[in-house]
Structure 1
Amino acid sequence: MSVGKSEATAIIQNANCSYHSIVCPVHLIHSVGQSLKGRTGLYTVTKQLQDCVWLATNQQQEKVVAKSVCHFRLQNERDILLHFQNRTPFVRPLIDEIQDSSVPPTLILRYLDDDVLRASGRQRLTRIEVIDLKPSNVLVNYGHGNIRFKDIQLADFGSTVREDSAHARDGDPIGTPIFRSPEAHLQMKWDTATDIWSFGAMARFHIFKPDVPVDHDEYDTKILMKHHRCFGPFPESYEEIADQERLAVLVWIMQNSPPETLRPFHLTTARESEAKSNSIVRSSGPGLESCFIL
């Protein structure tokens, strides 16, 4: 099976079209000044940070984050946090839950100063896939003196699932495009390798940035082309998880990447391309082998 540019773009778009941000119905959104009664405290909403996420203060005037939405992802995040937060300091903890039937389900979470993207200017406990690793989900508290950050915590576990879940096996659409692994882009089976990819991509995501705006039809396609041009051929193991249509897309991407666009592979000499070395390059594919995630 072979595809052209328009077919390849359509296949990639279709694979990702069902992934959307959650938007709260207007009548469910909290209002500034509103009081929220939790199991252990009382909170006052002070500012909306983004869809369904609010800044609030507790009775001691300390900042907290209120996350509120009628969606299974909120319950999933609650369950994940209760399972892990007492076993590691590297996840943002759940502080309280709102007990008020007049408002949507609401979690009260720890407030941290900033996220990695703005702050920088730029042990796994079980087999769990975080699947939305990106700079805005890595939160920090600033330190003093030579200590730049005193706390670093991972946030937003609404899409976190076990690696043997149907979501992972079926390749459900996940994450932000520029941080997705190739298999996630094509809605193929994903696993721990997808988290590893996203973790590594946070440090060098600009190398995948397309030359078109995020709402362009070819945005996702151009990201996949960047994957190939930066890291070389897609691994042969993709044949085990991709159907003929998706394999055709990968072939089209490789065929439409001239040698001069490949880096650093187009600089490889004959001596460096001996059979043994070449097999190592191919087997590693686009993976970021030196990365691991908390």
Structure 2
Amino acid sequence: MSALYRLGQVLKGSLGEYVISKQVHDTVWFALQEQVVIKAVPNHYRVQHERDLLRQFKGKVQHLRPIIDEIRDPAEPLAIALRHLDDDLYTASKQKMLNRKELKYVSKRILESLKALHQEGFVHTDVKLDNILVNYGTDDADNRFSAVELSDLGSCSQVDSKFAKECYSIGAPLWRSPEVLVGLPWNTATDIWSFGLCLISLIYGGEWHILRPKVSYDHEDFDWLILVNMFKWFGPIPAKYQDLIGNNEDSDSDKIIQALFNTVPKDDRGSFNRASLNEIRIQDRDLILKIMKMDPRDRPTAEELLQDPWFELIEEAGVWDTFNKDV
């Protein structure tokens, strides 16, 4: 147990008291009276940043994990109490593949959260299955989830911040967009790329990730091999991408892109467009191809994706029919 809190310690918040019951991460604990998640990071801005953002969006966004309380005693480090949910989507989907109704239910709620963040000028920066939380328990036999919430706003950034403009690296490597990996400025479109990767993993099921290299995470070429896989599945990078790089042909970004063209044969680029219909439904493939654009300017917004006909379709005996938009 971390020295920060001890098992059984009582934390006093503005609205209640919470007893530490389990440590689940270096900076995260479960606590009771009402079961909550306590998050505290000594000498770091992340918790304060997440607290301030959740205050700002409180009552405005239904599918962001909300703040429940702020811990006052002990006063240091700054700690917040967050809603506890049953599971994260990575674990839930690994245990049991999502059916069609669950897939749309989850996707819609993720996009609604991203739409709200993006409209206020924020980029989540760390959209991945681990950060999408779910509750179980519903009377609907076709949908095991009663709630879906996007979590972990600690690294959320304003779209016009120096982090975005100066090409700071964000998120976990497997979920990063092409512009992040090649060292270019990023914006809300980077979240859309990450959402697309989530969707692909949920459609195919299990622990499969389309961009995962066949090397360990600590391999020196891990990030490069992710880029190679991007190029193979969703490439090539269009010529107009040069507008994002500028005229400096000696820039690291330009060199990386030229290396990709030299590494991946022409016939191997854009393989997802050739995915077999025995492997993936054509409606799913078409939606993914709308999202997974190498140029961030070509990706749809969260708001546009919420209007996509994909949400109005359901499979019945192999036939796709119009379905209620609220699924």
Q: If the TM-score is normalised by the length of the shorter chain, which range does it land in?
A: 0.7 to 0.9
1:48 to 1:249, Cα distance in 2 relative to 1, 3 A: same
How far apart are residue 65 of structure 1 and its match? 0.1
Change (3 A) 1:266 1:115: closer
Q: Measure the CA separation in 1 of the matches of 2:176 and 2:80.
A: 27
Q: Would you say how many aligned residue pairs link Structure 1 and Structure 2?
A: 254
**Which amino acid in 2 is paired with 1:134?**
K
* Structure 2 runs not aligned, ≥5 long: 98-111, 202-208, 275-288, 307-327
C-alpha RMSD over aligned residues: 2.7
Question: Equivalent residue for 1:272?
Answer: none
- Post-superposition shift, 1:284? 4.5
The answer to which of 169-178 and 243-252 deviates more is: 243-252
Alignment-derived partner of residue 171 in structure 1: 167
State the match for 2:147 in structure 1. Answer: 151
TM-score (norm 1): 0.79
User: Which residue matches 2:61?
Assistant: 88
Q: Determine the structure 2 residue equivalent to 1:65.
A: 37
- Measure, in 2, the Cα distance between the counterparts of 1:213 and 1:161: 29
**TM-score, normalising length: structure 2:** 0.71
> Which residue of the other structure, out of 266, 269, 274, is the alignment partner of 1:262?
269
Check whether the contact 1:231–1:286 (CA below 8 A) recurs between aligned residues.
Answer: no
Match of 1:240 among 227, 240, 243: 243
Mapped contact 2:11–2:74 kept (Cα < 8 A): no
Q: 1:128 deviation in Å?
A: 1.2
**2:7 — aligned with what?**
32
The 1:254–1:46 alpha-carbon spacing in structure 2 relative to 1, beyond 3 Å, is same
- Alignment partner of 1:128 is 2:122: yes
Post-superposition shift, 1:218?
A: 0.5
How far is the alpha carbon of 1:291 from its aligned partner? 7.0
Contact 1:133–1:195 (CA under 8 A) maintained in structure 2:
yes
- Note if contact 1:228-1:286 (Cα within 8 Å) is conserved in structure 2: no
Q: What corresponds to 1:187 in structure 2?
A: 183
- Once the 2 structures are TM-superposed, how far is the Cα of residue 259 of structure 1 from its aligned partner? 3.7
Name the amino acid aligned to 1:219. F
Identity of counterpart residues, as a percentage? 37
For the residues of structure 1 that align with 2:62 and 2:35, how far apart are their CA atoms?
Answer: 19
1:162 to 140, 143, 158: 158
SS class of match (2:72): coil
| Equivalent position SS for 2:73 | coil
Please, which of 294, 297, 302 is the counterpart of residue 292 of structure 1? 302
Aligned to 1:118: 91
Alpha-carbon shift at residue 290 of structure 1 (Å): 5.9
Q: Does 1:253 align with 2:254?
A: no
The code of the aligned residue for 2:27 comes to C
Q: Deviations along 1:43-89, whole A, 9 cap, x unmatched?
A: 0001111110001112xxx3100000121111110111001121011
Shift of the 99–290 alpha-carbon distance from structure 1 to 2, 3 Å rule, reads same
Which one-letter code corresponds to 1:56 in the other structure?
A
Deviation string 1:175-211 (CA, Å, 9 cap, x unpaired) is 0100000111123100011010011111225110101
Instruction: Summarize the Cα distance change of 1:117–1:56 in structure 2 as closer, same or farther, 3 Å threshold.
Output: same
The residue number in structure 2 matching 1:199 is 195
Asked which structure has the greater RCO (Cα within 8 Å, sep 6+), the reply is: 1
Mapped pair 1:225 → 2:265: no
Match 1:212 to one of 195, 208, 215: 215
C-alpha separation between the residues in 2 aligned to 1:143 and 1:112?
Answer: 11
Inter-CA distance 266–100: structure 2 relative to 1 (3 Å threshold): closer
Structure-2 change in CA distance of 1:96 and 1:266 (3 Å):
closer
CA–CA separation in structure 1 for the residues paired with 2:293 and 2:270: 15
